[in-house]
Chains A and B, each alone.
Chain A
Amino acid sequence: MTNSNPIERLLKRGWTLTIAALLSLVAVYVRVVYFTPVESTQGPAQKIFYVHVPSAWAALVAFAVTGIVSLLYLKRRDEKLDTIGAASAEVGLVFGAVMLTTGPIWGKVIWGAWWAWDAKLTSTLFLYILFVGYVVLRGAVVDPEMRARFSAVVGILALILVPFIYFSVNMFRTLHPEPPVLRSGGPALPGSMLLTLMLSVVVFSVLYVGFLMVRYSLSVLKDLREKRAADGIS
């Protein structure tokens, strides 16, 4: 890979971050298994918490980024913003898949059920489906300007759901617990568990940024190549 242009440099940096984050994830796993105590009532299954919460964090950040850049796109009509929004939505679906699979596995242990149709779980599932729709919509609309405009509207509508999901545990009677760190009365975890959780959140955040940089760079490189090909034909 040459470093001749800024996008190729961004792609290379994205890969560096991604690989560093994946290796750090192994270190987080080691800390979870060997250096973090087992929760006394839930047992070892509670350790799903250290990937479920960070993946939910990364997914919600990714979806919020898509919503915010969608708002900015409608104001500025800068196609870079549209490309960032699309990349973040796809990466958000990946972290969302982790959140929506680890949640039910943990739920089966502590609730005795894989799923509950309560406010938090249901609205999270709707958000995920909305972003699947966002990606499908982008694949279905050929005109780039129209695609960017339509998907920006979906991104903004989905953004409204993000704070609703976060605060739903305070607004409704729900099985899902309150956020473990950013909650009224401060973090509800012993120090060693909190440190493991925070390390995992940092690693998932870096992984999100790495994935986003790679995905964005690939989209820009593809667009540039297609424009060059179209210019060559015309």
Chain B
Amino acid sequence: MGYPDNAIYAIVGYVVTTSILVGYAVVLFLRTRKEQRAQR
């Protein structure tokens, strides 16, 4: 095909993106659980 062999950069990019977004969702989940406990 003649494409440059650089898929590793895309893989790293997607791993970083997923880690940041899912990581923040986990942080929000832990904050939600903490707040719900504090409300009781």
Contacts and interface: CB of A to CB of B under 8 A. Distances in A.
Interface residues of A, number: 37
Contacts of B14: 29, 47-48, 51
Contacts of B36: 1
Given A51-B14, A101-B20, A215 B28 contact: yes
Interface in B1-40: 1-7, 9-10, 12-14, 16-18, 20-22, 24-25, 28, 31-32, 35-36, 38-39
Interface of B, helix, strand, loop or mixed by DSSP: helix
B10 A48 contact: yes
A80 interface: no
Contacts of A44: 3, 6-7, 9-10
Given A44-B7, A44-B10, A22 B32 contact: no
Interface of A: 1, 11, 15, 18, 22, 25, 29, 38, 40, 42-48, 51-52, 55, 91, 94, 97-98, 101-102, 105-106, 108-109, 207, 211, 214-215, 218, 221-222, 225
